[in-house]
Chains A and B, each alone.
Chain A
């Protein structure tokens, strides 16, 4: 039977709501099988050679969904994958409702309510824990920022859980160097987005160190990366 690219997803997306457009993909919101769904479309990059583009896009899509399942198996909250269209490179994921990004949460606390320091500290601790868990599963997120961690409200009294999203640049690696770089990326993003949070990030790292079984090698690499800048490992 002829293998054709399905136009079904692109057609659906024409009617869906575009949430954001990045260099890599477009993110939409739609209803799918009766559930509120996020559709991540990795569109073709015309500046790349088509054969390479297809291979790279496919690989990134596959890595993204594998990392999500790997995290979920370890009890880390990440959106459920409902469907993957490998012909148009679209991932249909659970929309996490009743949530805000850690970025917005920190920003709002810093702006309006300076008495909630202990709440921020607890948040930093929990982020450290969840990242430790993720790295212990040998999942490297690749794009750790406070916009990619969601705070999801679970009870009215303010209990929440943390949900990791956007595994688009993630991959499986046991190397402390890769995990160190992951933390370095978060550190840069954290400190540049949220002023005067050096102590808070330190708390995050402390929590990470305490929660991860393989942390000492990772922190060591983090220190090395801080000195020289990232992605300059001599490991091929």
Chain B
């Protein structure tokens, strides 16, 4: 087995959402053909799929869709962020300035405080957040329909 082009082994970077979608689709596909999932050879795939899905379902990517990702990248265009920074913003959905400064390199020099605030606002608007978290802070105008409160 060989890697094509080993010096530049990454053909592409994937967002967490893309991997999450791929694994969920694969899981559906394998559920239908239930015959040989449990054979010894398939155990590795089962394990890695289960663990990765478990991890990703607790991240913001589980609430994203292709339209949301496209909208996010379009809104991010004027801010002149690198691909890696936009990817991390998409994967982490930062809510505070401290998180922003971690994800965006040299943010003090490249972005003013208002720009950082603006970025946080854009991220919060375009990317869907955790409904449980948003229930606890009802300050936003977004109302969750039919959310149950125990």
Q: Are these two chains actual partners, yes or no?
A: no
Which residues of A are in contact with B by a Cβ distance under 8 Å?
A: none
Residues of chain B at the chain A interface (Cβ within 8 Å): none
